Amino acid sequence: MLDEPQREYVNKVTLMLQIITVAMATGVLVFAGVVMLLFQDDGQQDKDFQPLITYVAAAFGIVALLSATVVPRLMDANTRKNFLAGNLPQMKNQMPPAETGEVGLLVAMYQVRLIVGVAILEGAAFFNVIANMLEGQAISLAMVALLLVAIFFNFPTRSSIENWIAMQCRTIEELRSLQS
């Protein structure tokens, strides 16, 4: 389905997105490691202690897991709507090569949706690391691990990006045929 310039562009973007995804996850891991080393719990907590921040952070993590699934899908719907209306995105700094056509614009949209989804997970992971630093509860670290797994489930591969593009192109064409 993709021609050579489009495939080259997808390959270039895939590598960049892989680096970004790994960097975001690594930031969480490094921060968690520093917290674990510097803020060791001595086990001397008050019996009446209520780890409120931990509970809020865990709830935030669950909401982030849901949001990281829903928000990119809403962005997909908005992308399709804009394509149908002819409102193609105008990117001032990083316009895809002209020879990639609509596929290049879809790849740019994929970049945005992936980064937004992973950033939602990353923010919740950082919040849980901070909760662990403040209250020392294991549930915070478990939530960090779950959020990191979710980040790596979003790890972009060339085939996943090409499949997403094919699905978007197919859906846009179906919607265009319904409009005429």
Q: pLDDT per position in the chain (180 positions), as tens?
A: 788 888 898 999 999 999 999 999 999 999 999 999 998 765 556 666 788 999 999 999 999 999 999 999 999 888 888 878 777 666 555 666 677 778 888 888 899 999 999 999 999 999 999 999 999 899 999 999 999 999 999 999 999 999 999 998 888 888 888 876
Please give the DSSP secondary-structure letter assigned to residue 154. Answer: T
Q: Is 151 helix (H, G, I), strand (E, B) or coil?
A: helix
Note the pLDDT of residue 91: 57
Token pair of 24 as six digits: 């975001």
Note the pLDDT of residue 88: 65
Angstrom distance (rounded) from CA 134 to CA 144: 15
What is the number of other CB atoms lying within 10 angstroms of the CB of residue 81?
12
Please give the DSSP secondary-structure letter assigned to residue 93. Answer: S
Per the document, the length of the chain is: 180
Angstrom distance (rounded) from CA 12 to CA 19: 11
Angstrom distance (rounded) from CA 117 to CA 67: 8
- Between the alpha carbon of residue 58 and those of residues 4, 25, 34, 37, the distances in Å are 45, 18, 20, 22
Buried-state track 138-175, b at ≥16 Cβ within 10 A, e below 16: ebbbebbebbbebbeebebeeeebbebbeebbebbeee
Note the pLDDT of residue 44: 58
Q: Which of 123, 79, 107 is nearest to 166 (CA)?
A: 107
Angstrom distance (rounded) from CA 83 to CA 153: 28
Note the pLDDT of residue 78: 87
Residues 6 or more apart whose Cβ sits within 8 Å of residue 135: 49, 51, 53, 54
